[in-house]
Amino acid sequence: MASSSGPNAPLRIALFGGTFDPIHNAHLKIAREAARQYHLSRVLFIPAAKPPHKSGVTRVPYEDRLRMVELACQGEPLFEASRLEAGAKNSYSIETIERVIGSLGKDQEVFFLIGSDAFAEIRTWHRWQELFDLAHVVIAHRPGFRLQELRAALRAPLRKIYLQRLAGTHGMLRASAGSILTREITALDISATHIRAMLAQGSSPRYLVPDSVLEYIDRNHLYKDSDAR
């Protein structure tokens, strides 16, 4: 991929949404590797206040999840915690992307970071077809993930979108949006569900989450009961 450096290069902004309940080191690993691979200018971590696909299943309030994201982003010059999906309204990704584009103007490229499991369900999302008209989609998957499973999600409704697998820094984005890019992320066997279960059992998930996030969890007694799983 060509470098985006230079005075006339467009901004490359990545949106990384999720419940972040809590944010953990695998999330940060995905963002770091995507930033390096695609020469990103900034990565916005956007906790969903009311995720439509996970209604009622977040374990701690939005403000706590946002604060943990803010703490995790400290010391990461390209990372920024965002309140774009705060409030009581459902957090729809397409509307968030539209707001970002509206605030940035024309000289930008938007990348949307998503896990392979979430991408497999993308046809259930609100106005999902329009997402590819506005952003490049970067799908993070684990080593050993079978690309045939991904192609299964790219049937007739996505015929016009091409699947381009990039190796190293080779390849070129030929449009301002619409690419589906796969990114193999170094294996990190971490999930928020597992972290919540450890905390509910009184175990420490040290090394799975940033120290500042773990300190915040301990200080505020988050995820301490069995319902936190």
List of residues 6+ apart from 179 with CB closer than 8 A: 136, 137, 161, 162, 164, 173
Residue 77: exposure state from Cβ atoms within 10 A (0-12, 13-18, ≥19): exposed
CATH value at residue 159:
3.40.50.620
Give me the pLDDT at residue 178, please. 74
Section 209-217 average pLDDT? 97
Domain annotation covers residue 196: no
Domain annotation covers residue 34: yes
Hey, what are 140's tokens?
A: 């993070």
- Residue 123 structural domain: 11-190
Q: How confident is the model at residue 171 (pLDDT cuts 50, 70, 90)?
A: very low
Q: Domain count of the chain? A: 1
Helix (H, G, I), strand (E, B) or coil at 105: coil
Domain annotation covers residue 202: no
Write the pLDDT tens digit of every residue in 24-63: 999 999 999 999 999 999 999 999 998 876 655 789 999 9
> How far is Cα 186 from Cα 98, in angstroms, rounded to an integer?
31
Section 181-201 average pLDDT? 81
Better pLDDT: 102 or 161: 102
The end-to-end CA distance of the chain, in Å, is 41
Domain annotation covers residue 220: no
Whole-model pTM? 0.84
Give me the pLDDT at residue 159, please. 46
